[in-house]
Structure 1
Amino acid sequence: MRGTSPGPSAVADIGIRHLRAFLVLAEQLSFTQTAALLHTTQPSLTRSIHRLEEALGARLFHRTTRNVRLSAAGVLLREELKELLPRLESALAPQHDIQTLQIGFSWLFPDELLQNAIVGFERAYGVAVDLVRRDERCAGVDEGAVQLAVLRGRQAVRGLRTMRIAQEERVAAVSRRSPLARRRSLAWTELAEHPVLINTVSGATQLHDWPEDARPATVTLCSGFTEWLELIAAGHGIGVVPDLALRRNPHPGVHFIPLTGAPPMPLWLARPLAGAHPLALRFMERAAGAGHMAA
């Protein structure tokens, strides 16, 4: 770390758990939330940070009863470890502890976008990529059911590191029996005049995507993609999805119409902030190296 001169014996006392604890705390700036994410106690977390500070001879955080913030030395260490620690964990991890990298998604998978990354990853590491659909907000990555997940929409999920890989246009989903199905396009602001169906569990469009003064007056909530599709097909309301649905057409009773003036929908790759599998880190590196945007 620049600006400090720890002795060899002090550095030898530092383990990966100390560095991981520092990185998560640097992200969360909360001892309570960090301890929960690392499945440890606050006293144990505090001891780890103190040990690291003593070994490096520098204060990494400024702490008061109200807040926690990084010191100048802490900012430098965070920037260095963000790149170094994942590589170190990857190098030390067994290379064949899983035979399949599981990537979760909540509905239609953007295969064209990630196809090159998947093919290149499988060839480079000899590990198959398994796509797992889970009708959950984080597609199982927050529970450890998958190593990576593709997420859509505005994401503010604690405990996850996200990388923005693209953005998609939105389209309206209407019943094929609806008069709207004859339209070639709809304006985003027009949706406020119609009943709107929102999938609160895994839907990528939520009520907060509309300005407060232009939100739909009639909203029906449901808790899954399949239920959402069937309700739209039955004429109970209009939905909003990425334009991938125009090419996939996931339901014969639902028609998809381009939307004008709708905000783009961000598309993310997500992995756990702490304890991510090395292969997940390598896949994200490959996806980033393919020319996608990092956030």
Structure 2
Amino acid sequence: MKLLNRLYAQRMNIDLRHLRCFLAVAEEGGFTAAGRRLHLAQPTLTRNIRSLEDSLGVRLFERSTRRTELTDKGQTLRDTVAPLLRQLDSALQDLQKGEKLRIGFSWGLPQGLSRLATRFGEEAGVGVEFIRCDTPQAGLDTGQAHLGLLRGEPLPKGLRTVLLYEESRIAAVPASWQLAERTALDWAELADLPLIINTVSGTTFPDMWPDGRRPAVGAECRNMDEWLEQVAVGLGVGTAPVSAARRYTHPSVRLVPLTGAPTVRAYLAYPSHGAHPQAARFADLAWRAAEELQE
């Protein structure tokens, strides 16, 4: 420990990245194997080792075309650094125990998001839990969630977002209406019908139709369950992303394919400032795995 304290006091440009690279090369016996272990390109790894040697003013490895061996100074550093880094890793893992990344949603999580959360927990050491929040920002606006699944536009200000996918829409029609017998409806037809609006987490509003040809509001509600019940009792029709057909059914509601309708975009969002340290990492992982989220 005294050695490391002295090194950090005198060589402030040495950081954990350099030491982890050094230890990987020392333990793997070469740059190629160490690069695979750290998921680093060999030129990057070589630069880190060279920077460490330059900062210390000593040679840590003897290199040849056939092998890479530790010098006496390199062996001393390896013997000192290895147990300290393991102790540090253990301490950091202990700090992460019990930490949760909360993802808020108002309805209908993508099918693959739970699998992604499991994988993230295994890789990052941080558990993920999903919480239903019937708020405009799926819990981001109340502090209940670290990330929120948001649908539709415009998006609230003060958030960073990643686009996950786009969905077509279905129409929800009272089963007692003659329209329920149709095999498809057109978006323009809905302008002549009363519209059920979910004011909190909905994706359909009268101003989405042209001015002068907009549907009247049949009823308002605050969540998906209320929306479905108001359609069921015949207060009007509604529209929702097509994934709702897989998640929600009601004996008094028919879900009918809808043509000519704007798509619904699904985003994963987190605060631009003061976000959970793992929020951006999970959002990036979700963006990269977007194709598998709906499988």
Q: Is the 8 A contact 1:136 1:202 kept in 2?
A: yes
Which range is displaced more, 182-191 or 171-180? Answer: 171-180
Amino acid corresponding to residue 107 of structure 2 in structure 1: W
Residue in structure 2 matched with residue 270 of structure 1 by the alignment: 269
Q: Give CA-to-partner distance per residue, 1:24-79, whole Å, 9 cap, x none.
A: xxxxxxxxxxxxxxxxxxxxxxxxxxxxxxxxxxxxxxxxxxxxxxxxxxxxxxxx
Residue in structure 1 matched with residue 73 of structure 2 by the alignment: none
CA spacing shift, 1:237–1:184, aligned 2, 3 Å: same
Secondary structure, counterpart of 2:239 in structure 1? strand
Structure 1 CA distance, aligned partners of 2:290 and 2:178?
42
Residue in structure 2 matched with residue 212 of structure 1 by the alignment: 211
Distance apart, 1:201 and its partner CA: 1.4
Q: Is the 8 A contact 2:163 2:287 kept in 1?
A: no
Residue in structure 1 matched with residue 191 of structure 2 by the alignment: 192
Q: Is the 8 A contact 2:206 2:217 kept in 1?
A: no
TM-score under structure 2 length normalisation: 0.62
Structure 2 CA distance, aligned partners of 1:291 and 1:171?
22
Distance apart, 1:97 and its partner CA: 7.1
Residue in structure 1 matched with residue 164 of structure 2 by the alignment: 165
Residue in structure 1 matched with residue 111 of structure 2 by the alignment: 111
Identity, % of aligned pairs? 44
1:144 aligns with 2:163: no
Structure 2 CA distance, aligned partners of 1:291 and 1:135?
24
CA spacing shift, 1:98–1:273, aligned 2, 3 Å: farther
Distance apart, 1:222 and its partner CA: 2.4
Which range is displaced more, 132-141 or 96-105? Answer: 96-105
Secondary structure, counterpart of 1:189 in structure 2? helix
Count of residue correspondences: 201
Structure 2 CA distance, aligned partners of 1:195 and 1:145?
34
1:248 aligns with 2:258: no
Secondary structure, counterpart of 2:225 in structure 1? helix
Amino acid corresponding to residue 139 of structure 2 in structure 1: G
Residue in structure 2 matched with residue 102 of structure 1 by the alignment: 102
Q: Is the 8 A contact 1:174 1:255 kept in 2?
A: yes
1:127 aligns with 2:123: no
Gaps (5+ residues) in structure 2? 1-91
What is the aligned-residue RMSD (CA, Å)?
A: 2.4
TM-score under structure 1 length normalisation: 0.62
Distance apart, 1:272 and its partner CA: 0.7
Distance apart, 1:219 and its partner CA: 3.9
After TM superposition, list the pairs within 5 Å mapping 1:22-61 onto structure 2. none
Q: Is the 8 A contact 1:181 1:257 kept in 2?
A: yes
Residue in structure 1 matched with residue 221 of structure 2 by the alignment: 222
Structure 2 CA distance, aligned partners of 1:141 and 1:260?
33
Which range is displaced more, 177-186 or 203-212? Answer: 203-212
Secondary structure, counterpart of 2:278 in structure 1? helix
Structure 2 CA distance, aligned partners of 1:126 and 1:253?
45
Q: Is the 8 A contact 1:142 1:159 kept in 2?
A: no
Amino acid corresponding to residue 225 of structure 1 in structure 2: M
Secondary structure, counterpart of 1:287 in structure 2? helix
Higher relative contact order (CA 8 A, sep 6+): 1
Structure 1 CA distance, aligned partners of 2:145 and 2:97?
14
Residue in structure 2 matched with residue 281 of structure 1 by the alignment: 280
1:182 aligns with 2:191: no
Which structure has the greater CA radius of gyration?
Answer: 2
Q: Give CA-to-partner distance per residue, 1:198-237, whole Å, 9 cap, x none.
A: 1111112222322224311354322332222111111110
Amino acid corresponding to residue 244 of structure 1 in structure 2: S
Amino acid corresponding to residue 192 of structure 1 in structure 2: A
Gaps (5+ residues) in structure 1? 1-91
Secondary structure, counterpart of 2:234 in structure 1? coil
Structure 1 CA distance, aligned partners of 2:167 and 2:98?
32
CA spacing shift, 1:142–1:98, aligned 2, 3 Å: farther
Residue in structure 1 matched with residue 69 of structure 2 by the alignment: none
Distance apart, 1:127 and its partner CA: 2.6
Q: Give CA-to-partner distance per residue, 1:222-280, whole Å, 9 cap, x none.
A: 23322221111111100111001222234333221110000001110010110110111
CA spacing shift, 1:168–1:273, aligned 2, 3 Å: same
Distance apart, 1:108 and its partner CA: 1.4
Distance apart, 1:174 and its partner CA: 1.3
Q: Is the 8 A contact 1:135 1:225 kept in 2?
A: no
Secondary structure, counterpart of 1:285 in structure 2? helix
Secondary structure, counterpart of 1:139 in structure 2? coil
Structure 2 CA distance, aligned partners of 1:250 and 1:100?
32
